[in-house]
Amino acid sequence: MATPRLIRPVTTPFSAVATVPGSKSITNRALLIAGLATGTSNLSGILDADDTRAMAQAIVGFGARAEVDWNTGTAKVTGIGAAPMAGPLTLDANQSGTTGRFLLAVAATGSGAITIDGDEQLRSRPVGDLTDALRDLGVRLESTSSTTELPIVVHADGLRGGEVQLPGDVSSQFASAILLAAPLSKEGVALTLSGELVSTPYLDMTVEVMRAFGATVDQYDGSKFVVAPGGYVACDYVIEPDASAASYMLAAAAITGSTVVVEGLSPLSLQGDVEFAEVLAQMGATVRHHGNSFELTGPSVLAGVDADLRDFSDTVPTLGVVAAFASTPTTIRGVGFIRNKESDRIAATVTELRRVGIDASETEDGMVIRPGPLEPAVVQTYDDHRIAMAFAVLGLRNPGTRIADSHCVAKTFPEFFAALDALHPDREPLVIVIDGPAGAGKSTVSKAIAERLGLMVLDTGAMYRAVALSALERQIDLGDWEAVGELTKSLRIELDGSDVRIDGTDVSAVIRTAKVSQAVSVVAANPHVRDVLKHQQRAWMSAQGGGVAEGRDMGTVVFPDATLKIFMTANIEERAKRRAAESVDFSFADALADLRRRDEVDSSRAHDPLAEADDAVVIDSTDLSVGEIVDKVVDLLGDLVRP
Ligand code: DC
């Protein structure tokens, strides 16, 4: 499993124009409609993400022609028009909810057996209300499991149309699916939503995109839609930036007292999620609109809110995270239905807020968040992009926040972490190196500094120890430099906090035994080993985007351009005392002898010996506490880390 991604805290307020990709919801509606239309449409502002690629693939799957340039976000789509899709045909929606649901309804307008499938996560998301509605419209459906879950075979014979009802408080994707299919029906469709309505802005969005492509839709009271038959006509269409994606950038500004501008979005947007900015305004943020752009500035103190998010529920995790930094509690209401999203988003948000130390609790239709002090944690993401992105924002103000399986953001915002990073004024990675002899206190101090600044530690000594252990276990002659060098290349050494694994096996304890301590100096003198490990150390640092590296040659060889170089020393008796205290293997006398020997070997070896970098700050830890040393380091970093 990939190392959880560390989020670098924001230390000074910033002012930035956010990069926000095109709207996922509009992209998928426009792609589908263009794929069904008569003629060739030119789309721009298309989002490149897993979900939109799923839709693009699906429309090609049912016979449309699509030339998509994902780099420029443009597409030329020639729709199937008067030649409805014909089975046998299988269309795979992968993980995309809109793709799966929309296709299910649209498939009914074709002919023959058309199978709609998705990945495991999508298969487990129920579609029973939609299949019931399709049956009411006379569509014959069949499923290998139950007709409430994909895969489902639509035995299509053209959609006659007629009157149909759907509950208003389930996924609006179901209603959108029926609406999208409706212009392709023979008699038109009258759709009534019963009961309470949720996510109505998504229905308005569906209707607006349909109208842009020539459909005739009449809407009454927000709950009744009458769609005339007649199909879709191609057009040129510009997709707005994604308002849900923008919510993370706005939240980032809100919690750090910064300013963020999002271009291409106005209060008149088709996307309900623009409302999120209004909630932040209620919490104390200043929101300005300049024509087609939003500007939001975070307040010095955020207030809690009581907010009903039923119309823009994708922003629930984002608001949950912002609420953690408010001065008073927040209640989120009206969103019981988001338990069926990529994750149970109520449970996920509450669980992860608790993990970072916030007192949060679930309610039937939302949650309550009582702000308090936060703590570092590895946030779990449940393969849900919105949980990953929301908690990444939290990490901007909570040092030590790491995001597990962070790649799941690709579902809707593959460049999310780059976009978040780009908001920081101090974009250069913070690399702190701590070199010095054994027992100088490097490990303890590195951990304490890392904790204070929200960074990860790279214990390079542990890497040399891991190689020494493996060589001993395989009975490789330590003096055979070539052989030990080859061994180093073949090992997968993973460092995770103070845990060390070799090819998946936890060796954190064994590498600290006297036997390994004795062997490691020889291994560390081997230039082949040093070369392999040096590249791994640099790769680790760039993957983490900064960190605290401790060792012997961090400042001199591995990270010559580090932000701050510390060389730690302590007198040898003090070091021997510390060593003897932390290991059952060593008496004071043993420790003293061992240190003398290792100091000698480490500093006299030919390759990358232990040495002070010219620009290192020397700290003698003999009479200093860990806290004093950390304060000194924070002081040396100055404005780079001042909150
Ligand atoms: O810090 P430590 O005691 O865990 O380091 C183990 C050995 O590895 C030690 O003898 C020095 C060597 N080492 C090195 O040569 N270069 C480094 N960057 C880190 C450790």
User: pLDDT tens digit string along 288-338?
Assistant: 998 888 899 999 999 999 999 999 999 999 999 999 999 999 999 999 999
Domain boundary among the residues 215, 238, 261 is at: 238
Beta-sheet strands, E only, within 144-292: 152-157, 162-167, 189-194, 217-220, 224-227, 236-238, 259-263, 286-290
Pocket of ligand 1 (CB under 6 A): 438, 460-462, 464-465, 520-521, 524, 551-553, 598, 602
Residues 49 and 179 in one domain: yes
Flag whether pLDDT at 1 surpasses 50. Answer: no
Closest CA to 196 of 172, 164, 217, 178: 172
pLDDT for res 575 = 93
Same domain for 210 and 292, yes or no, is no
Q: Read off the pLDDT of each residue in 33-45 and give the average, rounded to a whole number.
A: 97
- Judgement on whether residues 589 and 493 belong to the same structural domain of the protein: yes
CA of 628 to the centre of ligand 1 (A): 25
Mean pLDDT of 178-194: 97
- Ligand 1, atom 10, residue with closest C-alpha: 521
Two structure tokens written together for 309: 């998010």
Give the predicted TM-score (pTM) of the model: 0.64
CATH number at residue 473: 3.40.50.300
Q: Which two tokens stand for residue 450?
A: 């890392």
* Ligand 1 atom showing the smallest separation from residue 605 Cα: 15
Of 54, 16, 10, give the one whose Cα is nearest residue 410. Answer: 54
Same domain? For 529 and 625 the reply is yes
Query: Distance from the CA of 573 to the center of ligand 1, in angstroms?
Result: 19
Active site residue 480: no
Domain identity same for 408 and 436: no
Name the residue with higher pLDDT: 342 or 89: 89
Quote the number of domains for the chain: 3
| Domain edge (last residue) among 422, 441, 464 | 422
- Same domain assignment for residues 42 and 12: no
Containing structural domain, residue 137: 24-238
Q: What is the mean pLDDT of residues 607-623?
A: 91
211 and 245 belong to one structural domain:
no
> For residue 339, what is the enclosing H or E element?
none
Residue type, 333: R
Measured by CA distance, the residue closest to atom 13 of ligand 1 is: 461
Question: Are 269 and 312 within 8 A, CB to CB?
Answer: no
d(CA 123, CA 127): 9
Contacts of 214 (CB under 8 A, 6+ apart): 37, 230, 231, 232, 233, 235
Tell how far the Cα of 509 is from the centroid of ligand 1, in angstroms: 16
Which one of 169, 314, 405, 602 is the catalytic residue?
Answer: 314
Say if residue 395 is in the same domain as residue 439. no
Strand pairing category for 111-117 and 89-92:
parallel
Nearest to 387 by CA among 446, 445, 344, 441: 344
* d(CA 641, ligand 1 centre) in Å: 28
Q: Does residue 406 sit in the same domain as residue 473?
A: no
Residue 227 phi, psi (nearest 5)? -110, 125
pLDDT for residue 58: 97
Question: Which one of 460, 517, 522, 607 would you pick to mutate in the ligand 1 pocket, going by the greatest count of ligand atoms within 8 A of its CB?
Answer: 460
Q: Report CA(550)–ligand 1 centroid distance (Å).
A: 9
What CATH number should be reported for the domain holding residue 141? 3.65.10.10
Task: Give the closest residue (by CA) to ligand 1 atom 1.
Answer: 461
In the structure encoding, which two tokens stand for residue 391, read together? 């908690």
d(CA 53, CA 411): 9
Q: What pairs with residue 193 in β-bridges?
A: 166
Cβ-based neighbour number of residue 489 at 10 Å: 11
Q: What is the pLDDT of residues 356-382, one digit of tens each?
A: 999 999 999 999 999 999 988 899 999
Residue 147 confidence class, pLDDT cut points 50, 70, 90: low
Q: State the average pLDDT over residues 398-413.
A: 88
Question: For tokens 């030329």, what's the residue?
Answer: 76
User: Mind listing the pLDDT tens digit for each residue in 503-557?
Assistant: 889 999 999 988 998 899 999 999 999 999 999 999 888 777 788 999 999 999 9
Domain boundary among 213, 238, 263: 238
Query: Would strands 224-227 and 236-238 be described as parallel, antiparallel, or unpaired?
Result: unpaired
Cα→Cα distances 604→524, 593, 608, 616, Å: 12, 17, 9, 20
pLDDT in tens, 432-447: 999 999 889 999 999 9
Residues 396 and 486 in one domain: no
Do 388 and 253 lie in a common domain? yes
Query: Which atom in ligand 1 lies closest to the alpha carbon of residue 438?
Result: 3
Do 117 and 38 share a structural domain? yes
* Position 224 pLDDT exceeds 50: yes
